[in-house]
Amino acid sequence: MISVVEPSPFGARRPEAAVAGSRGLRVLELRKLVVDYRVSGKRVRAVDGIDLEIRQGEILGLAGESGCGKSTVANAVMQILRPPARITGGSILFQDEDVTAMSTDRLRRYRWNDVSMVFQSAMNALNPVMRVEDQFLDMMRAHRRVSKREALARAGDLLELVGIEQRRLRAYPHELSGGMRQRVIIAMALALQPELVILDEPTTALDVVVQREILQQVQEIQRQLGFSVLFITHDLSLLLEVADRISIMYAGEIVESATAEQLAKQPRHPYTQGLLESFPPLHGELTRLTGIPGSPPDLSNPPAGCRFHPRCPYCDPANAGLFARQTTERPLLELVEPGHEVACHLVSGGGA
C-alpha cells in the first residue's frame, strides 16, 4: 500500500469520512478466526471461528464475560498475541489486506498508524518517570518524521481534544487522576489518526461520572474524525448506549449480532436475554431478577453442542428432540431479520 504524501504529517487524512453517509466501507473483517492457547499439551480454544465486520465510522461493541475470548480477539487484531496463544485458523483483513501475512515492517506501520488500542487499565500503561510530553514525542517520532515542535503542538491539540489543558503536557503521570491518565492514553491512540481504535474495557476501572465524561468525549471525537471503534466490555448496559452494532460473545463464539436497538428491544439468544436480565433497572418497575445460573464453561473442555446449554433455561430433557440438538449439535449464526443474527437452536426451528 502506498501512503499518500500529505503537506503535514498529521494533516487530515480523509476528510470525507466525517461526512455523514460515508459509512459503509469495510475497515476490518474477521473470517472464521480461531485462536488457541497451548498449555502443556492441552489446547484451549479461546476464540472459535468468529466472524466480525467493522465498517467505516461505526462503533461495534463486543460484549461478554471474563474468559469469553473478547480481549483475545482484540490482541489478535493488533497482532500482539504472545505464546502460548496463536492464530490457528481464519483470517483478519484490514482494508482487505491480510494482517496475519504482514511483514514486520508493515506491522510496525499497521499498529498505531492504522489501528490503535486502549487497554484495560491503560492508565497504568504510562511510564511513571517520564513527563506526558516525552511519552507523546516518543510515540509520534517512532512512527512519523516530525520536528519536536510539530509533535508537541499536535500533542497539545490532542490533550485539548480529550478535555485536558495543554499545560498538563509537562506533568508526570502521578500528578494526574486516573480519569486524566486514561484520557492521555486515548489522546495517544488518536495521535496518528488511525482508521480503527480498539477500546478494551476503557473505563472499567473508573468512576461512573468519569466514565460517562470520557465516553461522551470519545463519541464526540469519533463523530468529528470519522474513525471506527471496536468497543470491548463486559458491561452490556453501557454498550447499548454507545455502540451502533453489538456482538455478544460466549465461550469463544459469537452467539448474537444485532444493532443496539434490535438487541435492546428483542434479544433472541437466551444468553443475551440473561445478560440483559442481569442489570437491575434504575427506573420503572422493579422485579426480582434471576441473572444466569451457573458459570461460564472451562474452555479446555467446553460443553458439546451449544456451549450455553448447561445454563440455558430453555434446555430441557423433557423436550427430547430439541434437547438432543442442543447437547450435540453446534448452532450456527442465522439471520433472523435484516442485520440481526443469532446462533441458537430455538431460533433455527424447533420451537421454544
- Per CB under 8 A, residues contacting other proteins are 65-66, 163, 177, 207-213, 215-217, 219-220, 234-238, 240-242, 260, 264, 274-283, 286, 288-293, 295-296
With cell 473442555, the residue in question is 301
Task: Name which of 247, 199, 192 is nearest 77 in CA terms.
Answer: 199
Least distance from C-beta 199 to other proteins, angstroms?
13
Q: Count the helices and strands in the chain (H runs, E runs).
A: 10, 12
Give the Cα separation of 87 and 92 in Å (integer): 10
Q: Is 189 exposed, middle or buried (0-12, 13-18, 19+ CB in 10 A)?
A: buried
Residue among 64 and 90 whose Cβ is closer to other proteins:
64
Residue among 101 and 282 whose Cβ is closer to other proteins:
282
Residue among 60 and 87 whose Cβ is closer to other proteins:
60
Beta-bridge partner residues of 254? 249
Least distance from C-beta 142 to other proteins, angstroms?
31
Residue among 36 and 244 whose Cβ is closer to other proteins:
244
Least distance from C-beta 286 to other proteins, angstroms?
7
Indicate if the alpha-carbon torsion angle 240, 307, 72, 78 is positive or negative. Answer: negative
Residue 232 grid coordinates: 470491548
Residue among 9 and 310 whose Cβ is closer to other proteins:
310
Task: Name which of 165, 71, 185 is nearest 123 in CA terms.
Answer: 185
Residue among 278 and 319 whose Cβ is closer to other proteins:
278
Indicate if the alpha-carbon torsion angle 148, 151, 155, 156 is positive or negative. Answer: positive
Least distance from C-beta 7 to other proteins, angstroms?
33
Least distance from C-beta 218 to other proteins, angstroms?
9
Least distance from C-beta 214 to other proteins, angstroms?
10
Of all helices (H) and strands (E), which one includes residue 48?
Answer: strand 42-55
Determine if the peptide bond prior to 84 is cis (ω within 30°): yes
Least distance from C-beta 236 to other proteins, angstroms?
7
Beta-bridge partner residues of 262? none
- The half-sphere exposure of 165 on its side-chain side, counting CA atoms within 13 A, is 5
Residue among 131 and 212 whose Cβ is closer to other proteins:
212
